[in-house]
Structure 1
Amino acid sequence: MARGEFSRSLRAAIECLGTAPRPRREPTIRCAHRSFQPPTSRCISTTASRHAELIGETPEKFTAAPPIDFSKEDGKGKGGGKRLLRTLRVVPASPSYFSAKPTFTDDFINLSALLRKVATLPTIPASEAPKVAWKTIDQYRIMTNEPVKTQRYHKMLHILRRLNCIHPSLMPEEVVQAMQRYKKASQPGDFKPAPGVIDEWGRAKGVGRRKTSSAVAWLVEGEGEALINGKSLAQFFGRLHHRESAIWALKATQRLDKYNVFGLVSGGGPTGQAEALTLAVAKALLVHEPALKPALRRAGCVTRDPRKVERKKPGHVKARKMPTWVKR
């Protein structure tokens, strides 16, 4: 009876020991001479410690590193601060310092930053902005020694045109200095022709050229007479077309009976001389009446290409070439 009760109690004790969790042992690092256990890791919190965390444990004390004194010398008598300063990493001034060709990138970044800075200033329409001749893509490539793509350079020109549209009275000086780098050496308004004057005899002088011909014309108020190299217009030019070309500026503006023309022509043939006189008479007429410039431009008298004058003359029919097989 007692043996049965003992066996049951022993069996129950064995079952309890089998179900209970086994205690874990800390890993022990064995060395050649002694064995030790790794220290218990502790976390240092940056927040304020609570009372429950300090029970049974003393917080670890720590201090910040002292500031670097560059004027202090090291133990060898040398400037330790200067030696430490040489080992510091220098941040490059250019954001594209490590690229192969940073000049264009720097220019584009600087212009973009400048545009953001002055974006709130009032602007004027592009048609009213000052005329500026910007450098071409080839000139910019030579200046920077970089193979800049045309599309990227056009983006830079778009920013420059936007900066040029700022109201002239509010244009900052830094914008003017920044745009000066991208302007051509010669601008449209740098060279202005000397204004014509009327001398004491009431004459206005004009000079014209066409092909190898050159002409000088003096215009004075009169009854509509014309002398070319001391001859009348009909004597000097045999063809009616040449006579009409010589005084086309007066005929287009209906001033034939108001001015006298005295001309000197040289070089070339009759066609070149007549068209050179067209430009010379038109310039002399502008001295007397500057308001006639739009009318003379429409008539083709002050155009850069004198060949357009012939096409604009009304009633003019160009002579047809005769076939070579026609017997004369």
Structure 2
Amino acid sequence: MARGELSRGLRRAIDSLGLPRCERSIPVPRTIFRPTTARCLSTSISKHAELVSETPEKFTAAPPIDFDKQDGKERGKKALLRTLRVIPASPSYFSAKPTFTGDFINLSALLRKVATLPTIPAAEAPKVAWKTIDQYRIMVNEPVKTQRYHKMVHILRRLNCIHPSLMPEEVTQAMLRYKKASQPGDVKPKPGVIDEWGRAKGVGRRKTSSAVAWVVEGEGGVLINGKSLSNFFPRLHDRESAVWALKATQRLDKYNVWGLVTGGGVTGQAEALTLAVAKALLVHEPALKPALRRAGCVTRDPRKVERKKAGHVKARKMPTWVKR
């Protein structure tokens, strides 16, 4: 009530003063105004640099090269050569390992080129000693990773399996870069000879023991340092090791053996005789080499001979990561 009387009193006072009266407008519903977009209002004072509008400088590129322009005393082709940039021969020149990357790219491209040529099994391929990772790092003077170098060696082994009669000359020249200075077939032992008395000589070593054996056709007699086999080697195991090459090839009653042994212990001397007798036997019958290899007589590792004697030698398996 008091609010209504106050409003009517204000109207009468306005009418008495003769002021223009405003028309009553349509009441606006009381709603809360919420802006649709949020605004971030800054309360800090604007700096002078923010108020001044500065136009950015226009970008000016370098003028184009005019190859026809004369350069002092040099004209024509000489001026053109001075303005050209030398392009590296290898696409990996600007990489961390340009030499290795270039070698790997070249070998991969060469393998794709000769991939259709007939190949031979890896066991029948020529034996090659490739450079080690340390030798290759020294050659190229780059920190090459071992895994990446093994991938390159795998490509080289695949190229080496190409049939020898169809081996391209460019492949042969490319593989020379990665071969060692000395190869397995470079050093060949002198062929054994049979003297006028029908004897063949063989030399064997084991640790600090060394043995020299002469093998001649006979009835199976064995003398070691002037003593019989049983007197010189009391143990049966040592006696078998001394003549294991004859026993493995079933030649015990066909050859006589004279042996001289020095140094080391009794077992070492017997194992040295194993290799010496096997080498002398190969002079008489070279065709026995596969049989002696299977028996473990032409190796310097006596453990293989022991495993052959025991009869539980397993076939060697290639690693799973080696791809043929």
Is TM (by shorter chain) over 0.5? yes
1:188 and 2:173 equivalent?
no
Residues 274, 124 of structure 1: alpha-carbon distance in 2 compared, 3 angstrom cutoff:
closer
1:240 is aligned to 236
Residue 268 of structure 1 aligns to a residue whose secondary structure is coil
1:179 is aligned to 175
Structure 2 residue corresponding to 1:101, chosen from 97, 103, 112: 97
CA deviation after TM superposition for structure 1 residue 142, in Å: 1.6
Partners of 1:302 and 1:84 lie apart in 2 by 70
1:137 and 2:125 equivalent?
no
1:79 and 2:71 equivalent?
no
CA deviation after TM superposition for structure 1 residue 302, in Å: 2.0
Partners of 1:122 and 1:313 lie apart in 2 by 41
Residue 271 of structure 1 aligns to a residue whose secondary structure is helix
Residues 75, 107 of structure 1: alpha-carbon distance in 2 compared, 3 angstrom cutoff:
closer
Residue 129 of structure 1 aligns to a residue whose secondary structure is coil
Deviations 1:149-206 (A, max 9, x none): 2232222223222222222222221111111101122222222222211111100111
CA deviation after TM superposition for structure 1 residue 311, in Å: 4.3
1:254 is aligned to 250
1:276 is aligned to 272
Aligned 8 A contact 2:210 2:272 in 1: yes
Please list every run of 5 or more consecutive structure 2 residues that lacks an aligned counterpart in the other structure. Answer: 1-65, 312-324
Identical-pair percentage = 88
1:9 is aligned to none
CA deviation after TM superposition for structure 1 residue 232, in Å: 2.0
Aligned 8 A contact 2:211 2:272 in 1: yes
Partners of 2:236 and 2:255 lie apart in 1 by 20
CA deviation after TM superposition for structure 1 residue 74, in Å: 4.5
1:89-238 to structure 2, matched below 5 A, reads 89-238=85-234
1:285 is aligned to 281
Partners of 1:125 and 1:299 lie apart in 2 by 24
Aligned 8 A contact 2:245 2:297 in 1: yes
Amino acid at match of 1:143: M
Residues 234, 97 of structure 1: alpha-carbon distance in 2 compared, 3 angstrom cutoff:
closer
CA deviation after TM superposition for structure 1 residue 263, in Å: 0.8
Residue 124 of structure 1 aligns to a residue whose secondary structure is coil
Amino acid at match of 1:209: R
Partners of 2:127 and 2:166 lie apart in 1 by 17
2:84 is aligned to 88
Higher mean alpha-carbon deviation, 263-272 vs 149-158, is at 149-158
Residue 161 of structure 1 aligns to a residue whose secondary structure is helix
Residues 158, 224 of structure 1: alpha-carbon distance in 2 compared, 3 angstrom cutoff:
closer
Partners of 2:222 and 2:119 lie apart in 1 by 52
1:20-99 to structure 2, matched below 5 A, reads 74=70, 78-81=73-76, 82-99=78-95
1:284-303 to structure 2, matched below 5 A, reads 284-303=280-299
Amino acid at match of 2:115: A
Residue 90 of structure 1 aligns to a residue whose secondary structure is coil
Residues 125, 269 of structure 1: alpha-carbon distance in 2 compared, 3 angstrom cutoff:
closer
Partners of 1:240 and 1:92 lie apart in 2 by 72
CA deviation after TM superposition for structure 1 residue 229, in Å: 1.4
**Paired residues, what number?**
245
TM-score normalised by length of structure 1: 0.68
Deviations 1:193-226 (A, max 9, x none): 2221111110011111112111100011112112
Residue 198 of structure 1 aligns to a residue whose secondary structure is coil
Residue 208 of structure 1 aligns to a residue whose secondary structure is strand
Aligned 8 A contact 2:217 2:255 in 1: yes
Amino acid at match of 1:124: I
Partners of 1:84 and 1:295 lie apart in 2 by 74
Amino acid at match of 2:87: V
Measured on the aligned residues, the alpha-carbon RMSD in Å equals 2.4
Partners of 1:290 and 1:221 lie apart in 2 by 15
CA deviation after TM superposition for structure 1 residue 115, in Å: 2.5
